[in-house]
A and B are shown apart, each in its own frame.
Chain A
């Protein structure tokens, strides 16, 4: 029982963990990506795109419920055989590796512009990777605790933005559906990249304490994150208006200009600081997830694999600091993985459903 308590995640840690897999630097960019195409209707697109993470959360928690002891990697091998199972595992794990590179790239751009302009990209990348990989190497439980702490930092920083109601106008949302529903749905596809990460649930669910309602905890995480995503878009529209958003690279940071505290000259720096933590957490989560998959292939402990994988990640992230290359990756790969994840997780769900029926009948 003690082992259970010290090594496995509690319900709130699972919630924090999952939000750690998805919340990151994307929130700063999301309003621009959507508003570029549909202006004041961006928040509707942001809502529509939430269908994908919701589906993933529901399917994943179903799988977690059916197979409490095995993570997706073992289930795969069981259902598809060793060769195909391992292949699918590889494809599944690769996505987290790809995203960690683009996340570093995105963060690096932000750091260069608004946090540590005096550091070269390479230094930022090295620091990001070493710090986050260290956190990841400590395992899921530590990551869960860490996520809880960082959530405490994030919540007040998001709440501060309620100031936009004083300075901005809700009239900026009007007229709604101006861009037309087809366009709104079409652009919501670009939001998917920012919403990816809940897939991690099927990798870590064996590390959750017995008796925890996984579905409830993960739905909580989904609600928490979707509120932040949609609010980030809505707050930016309320404050900046539909025309100005696309002219800023990270429009959500500007929302903090509406906040005026005595003594503090620039609230944006406080936001940037806590959002850096969130980004590090995201990175750490993705390193953790991708290495869980690699670990499964080669059964050596995680910190030894790091000697090979981290330089690889560093090199890849350095290439991804180029905005054009990163744009190409972000525009194509997430869409492929969205389809892959839906098909793959749905089929696992269906197979385990049929098997269950079969066994109960037999």
Chain B
């Protein structure tokens, strides 16, 4: 019997391999519990809060989970509150109707309060987990994160999808970069001389929108700044970022310039003091001009505009740097990173302090590449 079987299988190798593979498959599958896709709770966004319950600070982690009914996709928020981050999973599971699964979340919303305490514990829980989506966007919200996830967006999208779309197109204006993802946050929080900045969102006029930037010192939020300042900070901080610089005399007479920035940082030490030189190269086009005449015909006018724009950019930059050094005391321009590359790493230097006390020079170089279809 056995011999006949052996002979049969040596004659039919393909069949033998198929049988062996099938047996292996069954063996591997045995003992595993598989859940149908409908019963998996897929979060579109994660909210990270701090709560004061019974005079004890607790973590509150909310999930905005997709629910499907009659062809409609809606989201429901489930919140777990506990004194450690992973423990929130167990307290949340008792009200969750599906199996908890991470990996498809698009956005992580951190409330202002939680960010001020520090997001290290959240980052630790996410860093360890291999299933996590490294490319989920991080944002800081003024309100409670749970409130943001519960906010009904007009377009009927889930807040997770809404913020995801908001973030992925943020880099078109205001010199925002696209590096506000989880992996970027971890890299910046853990590397020497680097700093985390995240978009700051608010519910304003019944709309969810970005109203500025949150500046972090390592993993702690220290200051949130408005959009005006954020624009200048981004210009000084990012490479290949796009935005508008404008010269304005009155409501009727102004010039707008849409440019792409590039920055290089140099440093030297003078009398035990670091001196940083930030060089900005901004190339772009004039998108609207009602201030200067004869821009099309006269190259001299073009040069004057370039000079005026340069002066404007430098004026804005110095204004921001002064505030940064005096009030915020954070190296949110990542100057320490450039210095560490030459000065040496791991020398226990607090770059936030060094940058706040050092001299920072900005020189801008604006170039108008095209002026559009012509003057009206």
Which A residues are closer than 8 A to B by beta carbons? 39-40, 113-114, 117-120, 123, 126-127, 130, 167, 171-172, 174-175, 178, 239-244, 247-248, 254, 257-258, 260, 265-266, 268
The reply to whether A174 and B24 form a contact with Cβ atoms under 8 Å apart is: no
A257–B135 Cα gap in the complex (Å)?
A: 7
Tally of contact residues, B, Cβ under 8 A: 30
Residues of A within 8 A of B20 (CB): 130
Given A127-B24, A244-B190: A260 in contact with B135 (beta carbons within 8 A): yes
A244 pairs with B191, CB closer than 8 A: yes
What CA separation (Å) do A119 and B31 show in the bound complex? 9
- Distance (whole angstroms) from the CB of B26 to the closest CB of chain A: 11
**Closest chain A residue to B337 by CB distance?**
A171
20 pairs, CB–CB < 8 Å, chain A vs chain B: A113-B130, A114-B130, A117-B130, A118-B32, A120-B31, A123-B28, A126-B24, A174-B341, A240-B187, A241-B190, A242-B191, A244-B186, A244-B191, A247-B127, A248-B127, A257-B181, A265-B104, A265-B133, A266-B103, A268-B134
Bound together, the chains give a CA A239 to CA B27 distance in angstroms of 40
* Secondary structure class of chain A's binding surface, majority of residues: helix
- Complex contacts, A126 vs chain B, CB 8 Å: 24, 27
Residues of B within 8 A of A120 (CB): 31
Residues of B within 8 A of A175 (CB): 341-345
Please give the distance in Å from B216's CB to the nearest CB on chain A.
16
Q: 8 Å CB contacts to A: which residues of B133-168?
A: 133-135
Q: What is the bound-complex CA distance between A257 and B346, given in angstroms? A: 26
Across chains A and B, which 5 residue pairs bring their CB atoms closest together, nearest first? Answer: A257-B134, A174-B341, A241-B191, A114-B130, A257-B183
Known contacts A40-B345, A175-B342; A243 and B134 CB within 8 A of each other: no
Which residues of B sit under 8 angstroms from A240, Cβ to Cβ?
Answer: 187
CA distance A154 to B191 in the complex (A): 30
From A113, A178, A268, contact of B344 by CB (8 A): A178
Chain B residues 331-358 with CB under 8 Å of chain A are 337-338, 341-346
- Which of B24, B130, B338 has the most C-beta atoms of chain A within 10 angstroms of its own C-beta? B130
A117 to B103, CA, bound (A): 14
Check: B246 CB closer than 8 A to any chain A CB.
Answer: no
Residue of A nearest to B30 (CB): A123
Cβ–Cβ contact B28 & A247, under 8 A: no
Query: In the complex the two chains form, what is the Cα distance from A171 to B20 in whole Å?
Result: 52
A299 CB to nearest B CB, Å: 22
- B179 sits at the interface (CB 8 A): yes
Contact residues in A for B181 (Cβ distance below 8 Å): 257
Q: Out of B103, B133, B179, B345, which one reaches A242, CB within 8 Å?
A: B345
Contact A39 B133, beta carbon cutoff 8 Å: no
Min CB–CB distance A114 → chain B (angstroms)? 4
